[in-house]
Structure 1
Amino acid sequence: MKPLLIGLAAAGAAAALALSALPASADVVCNRDGDCWHAHEHYNYAPNLGVVVHPDDWYFHQHWDDHHHWRDYHEGRGYYRGGVWVPF
């Protein structure tokens, strides 16, 4: 009985570790004004919004200056326009 419990515990720990290794579904989104923000889910933005979706690690490879501005996180769906969050 004891080896069975140890085996089940080891299998559960291995499954938890494997699930924690799954990639997060997060994006960095930037508009044509250089405003960039983090999106926790992948959204399909309308083409007329002029946004570009990047992988989450894109953030770390950028030089944040007068042309790129990191904006605060907002709950829900939306985008920045002119430095202001616009929900949709």
Structure 2
Amino acid sequence: MLKAVIFGALGLLGLAIIATSSAQAAVVCNGAGDCWRVKKQHTYPDAARVHIYGDDWAWDEAEADRYRWRDPGEGRGYYDGSGVWITF
């Protein structure tokens, strides 16, 4: 009985960890309208000039010509205004 309680508690703890880590996902956009999804929020350098939104954020239909989705580059980084991935 005690083992079942311990395993149940560990299972709930594991689910809580998974739920917490997925809540860290976000959408990041720069001033040029490049947006990408990240699995983990980072602290970006001031030079990045990015905006961080919740992972369910999407632009309004009226803003469709302002924004575009990009695949995130390799490693921790951001798109500069010219579409180049800058790592930091």
TM-score, normalised relative to structure 2: 0.70
Question: Residue in 1 aligned with 2:15?
Answer: 17
Question: Residue in 1 aligned with 2:72?
Answer: 73
**1:87–1:17 distance in 2 versus 1, CA, 3 Å:** closer
Aligned residues: 85
Unpaired runs of at least 5, structure 2 = none
* Counterpart Cα distance in 2 of 1:49 and 1:12: 40
* Counterpart Cα distance in 2 of 1:44 and 1:12: 31
Q: Following TM superposition, by how much is the alpha carbon of 1:6 offset from its aligned partner in structure 2, in angstroms?
A: 2.5
Q: How does 1:45-56 map to 2 (within 5 A)?
A: 45-56=44-55
Amino acid in structure 2 at the alignment position of 1:12: L
Unpaired runs of at least 5, structure 1 = none
**1:17–1:71 distance in 2 versus 1, CA, 3 Å:** same
* Counterpart Cα distance in 2 of 1:20 and 1:49: 29
TM-score, normalised relative to structure 1: 0.70
**Worse overlay, 50-59 or 66-75:** 50-59
Two-structure CA RMSD over aligned residues (Å) = 2.4
* Counterpart Cα distance in 2 of 1:84 and 1:77: 13
Q: Following TM superposition, by how much is the alpha carbon of 1:33 offset from its aligned partner in structure 2, in angstroms?
A: 0.9
- What do the CA deviations read for 1:22-78 (whole angstroms, capped 9, x no partner)? 25322211111100112233222233332212122213x644722100001222122
